[in-house]
Structure 1
């Protein structure tokens, strides 16, 4: 959940993410310095859907709907072997990313009022943000360091609902995928 505006950190904002704890040794120090979401309590992750519904709209029906949608998808492995970029952003590229895209699509289809990236982008590009809002020289330095620490594989077995409480992002629920 990359932060390119202060409005993304409003209390009640939610997002769905898959945690990638295997990435922490490689990315933690860089994320703490250059990724606002890390400073706000979000662990290394790949976003499934952001923003999701405002917290005040998440009730028992939404929880059960998320559980039903997500429990019909199998757990899977992701490899992280390379970096990618958006303007001012460096990220780790998960491979293969088809299952991540499918998770995003099925949740967005179920809740069309919550399009990926708020409808700002048409293409879904799964990624693990390491640095945001930096110039190319900084991104080049980070990428050189990361390439010496790749590759690794991470198991995706759940999707977490994160909520911003006004100060930090907190996990509100975790939804298991089929093992």
Structure 2
């Protein structure tokens, strides 16, 4: 895998995430080594919607609309107790994932020009990526290490808007869920 963590990102891209700070101690070293988004400044997270609107299209009404839309949803707890895989990818599976799926659906319904995964996949699969673009032997090694550090819980009380400036992902806004 290339060391260029920015090769898959474009300046002006945005995304919506829920941070999972409780995962950092278990996943930080692996993510820094094996997940380009970590090297580009994205904390441990579950994606709500990526890509979202290009930053150049984020007029003055987008953030208030996000705050209103997301503020209607209750904060919730997640449990991380198992790993899952996509081809070349190892992730932690949040459970239950119903509320995460719902957040993705409502944002995508409001902004249909920003479908989940850019429209590449039809099924929404909430996940916390640990390793991306790796062979099975690497994924097996990481999974064995992570299983010894599970389970853990995380409280989701906000959704963050992240933007890529050409070098790093940076938080642009945070939207509270209702308690």
TM range (shorter): over 0.9
**How many angstroms does 1:8 deviate by?**
3.9
Q: What does residue 162 of structure 2 align with?
A: 162
Name the SS for the 1:59 alignment partner.
coil
**1:150 and 2:146 aligned:** no
Q: What does residue 95 of structure 1 align with?
A: 95
Q: What does residue 63 of structure 2 align with?
A: 63
Q: What does residue 172 of structure 2 align with?
A: 172
Q: What does residue 138 of structure 2 align with?
A: 138
**Residues 68-147 of structure 1: pairs in structure 2 closer than 5 A:** 68-147=68-147
Name the SS for the 2:52 alignment partner.
coil
List runs of 5+ in structure 1 lacking aligned partners.
none
> Distance between the aligned counterparts of 2:112 and 2:8, measured in 1?
19
List runs of 5+ in structure 2 lacking aligned partners.
none
> Distance between the aligned counterparts of 2:138 and 2:19, measured in 1?
25
Deviations 1:52-71 (A, max 9, x none): 00001112211111001000
**How many angstroms does 1:96 deviate by?**
0.1
- After TM superposition, the score normalised by the length of structure 2 is 0.96
Alignment RMSD (CA, Å)? 1.1
**How many angstroms does 1:6 deviate by?**
6.0
Deviations 1:18-68 (A, max 9, x none): 000000010000000000000000000000000000001112211111001
> Distance between the aligned counterparts of 2:171 and 2:6, measured in 1?
20
Runs (4 or more) in structure 1 with deviation over 6 Å come to none
Q: What does residue 54 of structure 1 align with?
A: 54
> Distance between the aligned counterparts of 2:8 and 2:110, measured in 1?
22
